[in-house]
Amino acid sequence: MKRILFIPLILLVFGCSKPQSRGGIIFTFDDQSVRNWVEYRDLFRKYDVKATFFVSRPQLLDQGLISGLKTLQSDGHEIACHGLNHIDARLYRGSADGFYKEEVEPAISKMNEMGFKIVSFAYAFGLAPDSIDQLLLKHVKYLRKATWNMYTTLISNYDKIYARPDSFNIVSSMGIDCNYNIALDNIESGILRAEKNNEVLVLHAHKIDASGLDYTINPAYLEQVFKLCKKDKIKSYRMEDLEDFFSHRKLKDSH
């Protein structure tokens, strides 16, 4: 009789005290390769990857490209903003407010007119001064920055490319286009850290093709990365999911 009671008690204690922590991964794609991204929608669907597409120069999008973005959105991807003229915030000479009014606000308005609700912004060239970060966070919820594997090391060594419970509104990302030449086992080191620490790893790329040109990602390589996610059972999220991801975790952790 005692033993029968003891087993459920063990299950209760161990089942509730430590929820399984799996982390997450965010794939982001920048600039304006809308037709190209739409061509690969089945690849995303096959692996149930929901990405975030950061679109620059929305004023140049024609009706066909706008409906391409709508297709991506209806597949569950996030459409986000990458600026009106792809201006490098570090080189901008005016005030933070000037940067917002010239580069960010008109781009977001344009995208709002097209029917996209914008909550995330990615900096052209990946970096910005703190003053601009702070100002933009009054207008968008998430800022994505960017880095590359500058130390030729494991990407799991780059703290800034991980969103964490205490820092997810501003997060950097690791470039995985072919010019960065990041081996798949290195990508996996990044995934395993996210799982171990319950963080969200953020990656970025541009056009999906096999040209081997800088700032393109080979579709076969991208598929291998998606396969790694499937093998390691890490789920993909969009930038806009980050708050829910972490508040959900908090609820689970407090049980």
Q: Is 30 in the site for Zn ion (CB under 5 A)?
A: yes
* Span interacting with Zn ion, options 23-31, 87-95, 192-200, 239-247, rule CB under 5 A: 23-31
d(Cα 109, Cα 21) in Å, to the nearest integer? 38
Q: Is 86 left (phi over 0), alpha (psi -120 to 50) or beta?
A: left
Closer CB to Zn ion, 146 or 191, in the complex: 146
Taking a C-beta distance cutoff of 8 angstroms, is the pair 189, 228 a contact? no
**What's the closest the beta carbon of residue 31 comes to Zn ion, in angstroms?**
5
**What's the closest the beta carbon of residue 86 comes to Zn ion, in angstroms?**
6
Mapping DSSP onto H, E and C, the string for 12-41 reads: HHHHHHCCCCCCEEEEEEEECCHHHHHHCH
* Residue among 28, 31, 89, 110 that touches Zn ion (CB under 5 A): 31
Closer CB to Zn ion, 72 or 146, in the complex: 146
Helix axes 219-231, 184-197, angle to 10 degrees: 30
Please name the amino acid found at residue 69. L
**What's the closest the beta carbon of residue 173 comes to Zn ion, in angstroms?**
12
Closer CB to Zn ion, 135 or 205, in the complex: 205
**What's the closest the beta carbon of residue 216 comes to Zn ion, in angstroms?**
13
Closer CB to Zn ion, 124 or 136, in the complex: 124
Q: Is 199 in the site for Zn ion (CB under 5 A)?
A: no
Closer CB to Zn ion, 38 or 87, in the complex: 87
**What's the closest the beta carbon of residue 254 comes to Zn ion, in angstroms?**
39
The single-letter DSSP state of residue 118 is P
Closer CB to Zn ion, 89 or 201, in the complex: 89
Contacts of 68 (CB under 8 A, 6+ apart): 34, 35, 37, 38
Closer CB to Zn ion, 124 or 202, in the complex: 124
**What's the closest the beta carbon of residue 100 comes to Zn ion, in angstroms?**
18
Contacts of 120 (CB under 8 A, 6+ apart): 52, 54, 78, 80, 81, 140, 141, 142, 143, 144, 239, 240
Backbone angles phi, psi at 177, to 5 degrees: -60, 165
Tell me the per-residue interface mask from 111 to 130 with Zn ion, x by CB under 5 A, - otherwise. Answer: -------------x------
**What's the closest the beta carbon of residue 83 comes to Zn ion, in angstroms?**
8
HSE toward the beta carbon, residue 222, CA cutoff 13 A: 28
Residues that bind Zn ion (CB under 5 A): 30-31, 124
